[in-house]
Structure 1
Amino acid sequence: MRIRTLIITFAMALVAAAGARAADPAEGQAIAQRWCASCHLVSPEQERAMDGVPSFQAIAARGDLTGETLEAFLTDPHPVMPDMALTREEIADLTAYIDGLAE
C-alpha cells in the first residue's frame, strides 16, 4: 500500500512539473514589441514612444512593483491600454522581460 501511494504521489508531481514552464524573457520582448512599443519604450534601442508613457526600464526600476503586482496589472490592464487578452504564460514572459530590464 505504501509503495502504491509513493508511486501515485511521484506520478502527480511529474504531471505538475510537466505542465509548468519557466517564463521566457525573449518571448516577453517579442510580446512587448508587438503589443506595447506603439506607446512605451520597450527596449533601450527604441527611439520613439508616446509622451508621458513610462518606459519599460522606468517601470522595471520602480521599487513598488514586484513581478506579482505587474502580473496582476497585466491580467486586467487599465482602459487606455489595448485589450491584449494575454495568456498567463505570455504575462509571465512579459513580466520576466520587464524584470530583466532592471538589472
Structure 2
Amino acid sequence: MGSRFAAFHLAGAAVAVSAIIAAMATGMVSAPPAQAADAAAGRALAERWCATCHVVGEAPQSAASDAPPFTAIAARDGDISPAWLAFRLLVPHPQMPQVSLSRAQAADLSAYLATLKK
C-alpha cells in the first residue's frame, strides 16, 4: 500500500513538471523582463567612483591626467558598444581601483556614457 501511495505522488510530480515545461514552451510562463539601464543612476555612480580619475561631468580636468574624460570615451566610433562597455566595467583595467560593480550598475554606467555620445 505504501508503494502505491509513493508512486501516486511521483506520478503527480511528473504531471506538474510536464505542465510547467509545457507552459514555458508555449510562452505562458516566461522569465521576468530585464530592467532597463538607468543613465541617471549611472551618472551618480560615475560622480561617486569615477570622478577621482576621469572627467565625468562639466569639470575642466580630471585628477589623473592620463585618464580620458567620459566624453572622449563616449566619442569613440564603433569600437565601444554599451554591452561591451558594461562587460569591461565588470573587469576593470589595471590602473582602475578595484570597485565591485553589479551587472546592473555596470549597465547604468554604460547607459550614462551613451548619453554623452555626440
Which one of the candidate residues 53, 63, 71 is aligned to 1:39?
53
User: How many residues are matched?
Assistant: 95
Looking at structure 2, the residues matched to 40 and 76 of structure 1 have their Cα atoms a distance apart, in angstroms, of 17
Instruction: Give the percent of matched residue pairs that are identical in Structure 1 and Structure 2.
Output: 41
Task: Verify: 1:78 aligned to 2:88, yes or no.
Answer: no
Confirm or deny: 8 A CA contact 2:41 2:108 kept in the other structure. Answer: yes
Deviations for 1:14-73, whole angstroms, at most 9, x for unmatched residues? x422xx200000000000001100100011x22231212110000000011111221221
Question: Which structure: larger Rg?
Answer: 2
Shift of 1:9: 2.9
Q: Which among 30, 36, 47 is matched to residue 44 of structure 2?
A: 30
Contact 2:87 2:106 in 1 (8 A): no
CA distance in 2, matches of 1:42, 1:101: 10
2: CA distance, partners of 1:95 / 1:40: 15
Identify the residue that residue 10 of structure 1 maps to in structure 2.
28
Q: Does 1:66 align with 2:81?
A: yes
Task: Tell me how large the CA RMSD over aligned residues is.
Answer: 1.7
TM-score (norm 1): 0.82
Structure 1 gaps, min length 5:
none
Q: Partner letter of residue 40 of structure 1?
A: H
CA distance in structure 2 between the aligned counterparts of 1:22 and 1:73, rounded to whole angstroms:
18
Q: Is the 8 A contact 2:83 2:107 kept in 1?
A: no
Q: 1:6 Cα deviation (Å)? A: 4.8
Secondary structure of the residue that 2:71 maps to in structure 1? Answer: helix
Q: Which has the higher contact order (CA 8 A, sep 6+)?
A: 1
